Amino acid sequence: MQATEQAIRQVVQEVLAQLGSNGRMNGSGSAHGNGDWGVFQTVDDAVAAAEDGFRKLAERPVSDRVKIVQCIKDLCTSQAEELGRLELEETGIGRLDHKIQKLKIIALVPGVEFLKCDAVSGDHGLTVTEYAPFGVIGKITPVTHSLPTLASNAISMISGGNTLVCNPHPSGRLIACEGTRRINRAIYEATGLENLITILDNPTIETANEIFEHRGVRIICVTGGPFVARAAMQSRKRAIVAGPGNPPVVVDETADIDNAARSIITGGAFDNNLLCIGEKEVFAVESIFDELLNAMPRHGGYQLNCSQIDQLTKLAFDPPKDGSDHHVLNRDLVGKDASVLAEMIGLSVPAGTDLLYGETDESNPFVPEEQMMPFVPFVRCRDAMQGIELAKKHEHGFGHTSMIHSRNVRTMTIMGREMNTTLYVKNGPSSAGLGLGGEGYLSFSIATPTGEGVTNPLTFTRQRRCAMVDELRII
């Protein structure tokens, strides 16, 4: 009996030794034992662990990267309900159904199959171009999709053979850290590899800047608004910048009006209009303007009148400060449900209302500002050319996303050329530009000012050429 008790005590002591002070598993076997399945207290420790993870990953066959990608996709799919709920509880923005959907669609992000190898053979020999990793990549994630961005980036970066160190948005750090722990644990169980994703437990602007400056970090990739985009572009490292947008929609007299209304609601209401690609303002031509407004309720829209729009505008924005032209967005309204925005102005809207909308002129701050809430302003235009002109003005040259609803090929082409946006969607919701109901692949980081476009595994690789000089041809 005594011997049995002693054996049990020993097992318990062994288990406790493997448990951290907070009851979570330590990164067992890690060269950097102060990590908690990839969650670190300092930038130096997180980068050192990611460097170690990179060296070990480099020794493994590419087929291990396939297993790792599958671990991330399986986890995001099977735990989407729980993780989506945790993200919503922590950030307080967006919609539960769409938080869950954003994790489930991680399965559509391309992985190792996207890598390629180019070869040229000729009289002088054979030259092979391969796509090699950079090493440790510094990553900044937004609050609007904390874990989905991290998971999507991890798939692209690890497929390319890299590891990453993440400075999450402080208001979405708990879910980003919990997702990192779970993903790293799944990867460890499948491959024995650790710290392919590392993350800061207490991220700040200072830790972001430390990552930007760190010698162990080879390149940076940031996803966020204008301030972080500017900070990354000023850093001395190569930066892949997925910056802000303010996507306009033009609707002309040849459009399928019902499809236009449905598309504006599908894209503009998704996760309460948090997506950087989501429809933010509509410029519709006079001849179909009223018909378009009247089509919106059939798809979950609720029209506000002038005084209701005025009330909401006063709550959503403060006047410009310090000589700036920009109204100041009230972050308390960002990502709230349409019914909550309506309640704030004393209105009760029918169940199933996804999006509020109404007529404004272009001076209403909802037009030039990226509101990230489910109210979309509609501006009446003389003709399609005026709509395109206003769309260009209010996209501010971000070069992010624009949409048109038209059957006139010439008008569509003129707008495509004028806007010069990274995503340009014709006759569908913005999400079609990311392969959701349109063709193409998905990513949660669309590199706009730096030009890489919808990021994928090749975005995070270096081209390396190997030339063999000889008579190698078999023909």
Strand, helix or coil at 465? strand
Nearer to ligand NAD, 241 or 264 (CB): 241
Strand, helix or coil at 447? strand
Q: How many other C-beta atoms are found inside a 10 Å radius of the C-beta of residue 277? A: 24
Nearer to ligand NAD, 219 or 228 (CB): 228
Residues 6+ apart with CB under 8 A from 403: 247, 248, 249, 250, 263, 267, 279, 424, 425, 426, 428, 429, 430
Nearer to ligand NAD, 12 or 205 (CB): 205
Q: Kindly state the DSSP code that residue 177 receives in the 8-state scheme.
A: H
Burial of 3 (0-12, 13-18, 19+ CB in 10 A): exposed
From the CB of 69, what's the least distance to ligand NAD, in Å?
20
Residue at shortest CB range from ligand NAD: 224
Strand, helix or coil at 24? coil
From the CB of 278, what's the least distance to ligand NAD, in Å?
9
What are the CA-CA distances from residue 402 to residues 367, 373, 378, 458 (Å)? 14, 18, 15, 25
From the CB of 142, what's the least distance to ligand NAD, in Å?
3
Nearer to ligand NAD, 289 or 444 (CB): 444
Nearer to ligand NAD, 227 or 441 (CB): 227
Q: What share of the chain is helix, strand, coil (3-state, %, to 5)?
A: 45, 20, 35
What are the CA-CA distances from residue 32 to residues 195, 262, 386 (Å)? 9, 52, 60
- CA triple 135-137-142, angle to 5 deg: 165
Nearer to ligand NAD, 162 or 455 (CB): 455
Give residues in contact with ligand NAD (CB under 6 A): 140-144, 168-170, 205, 208, 223-225, 227-228, 231, 242-245, 276, 370, 445-446, 448
Burial of 321 (0-12, 13-18, 19+ CB in 10 A): exposed
Nearer to ligand NAD, 157 or 228 (CB): 228
From the CB of 449, what's the least distance to ligand NAD, in Å?
9
From the CB of 103, what's the least distance to ligand NAD, in Å?
15
Nearer to ligand NAD, 227 or 350 (CB): 227
Of 73, 67, 156, whose CA–CA distance to 111 is shortest? 156
From the CB of 196, what's the least distance to ligand NAD, in Å?
20
From the CB of 28, what's the least distance to ligand NAD, in Å?
29
From the CB of 222, what's the least distance to ligand NAD, in Å?
6
Burial 180-216 (b: 16+ CB within 10 A, else e): bbbbbbbbbeebebbbbbbbbbebeeebbebbbebeb
Nearer to ligand NAD, 239 or 446 (CB): 446
From the CB of 129, what's the least distance to ligand NAD, in Å?
28
Nearer to ligand NAD, 156 or 445 (CB): 445
Nearer to ligand NAD, 149 or 364 (CB): 149
From the CB of 224, what's the least distance to ligand NAD, in Å?
3
Nearer to ligand NAD, 272 or 353 (CB): 272
Give the separation between CA 401 and CA 408, rounded to whole angstroms: 20
Give the separation between CA 159 and CA 109, rounded to whole angstroms: 11
Of 412, 368, 409, 372, whose CA–CA distance to 390 is shortest? 368
Query: Which helix or strand (DSSP H or E) is residue 18 part of?
Result: helix 2-18
Give the separation between CA 302 and CA 311, rounded to whole angstroms: 16
From the CB of 455, what's the least distance to ligand NAD, in Å?
8
Can you say whether the dihedral through the CA atoms of 359, 364, 369, 371 is positive or negative? negative
From the CB of 238, what's the least distance to ligand NAD, in Å?
16
Q: At what angle do helices 173-191 and 80-91 cross, to 10 degrees?
A: 150
Strand, helix or coil at 235? coil
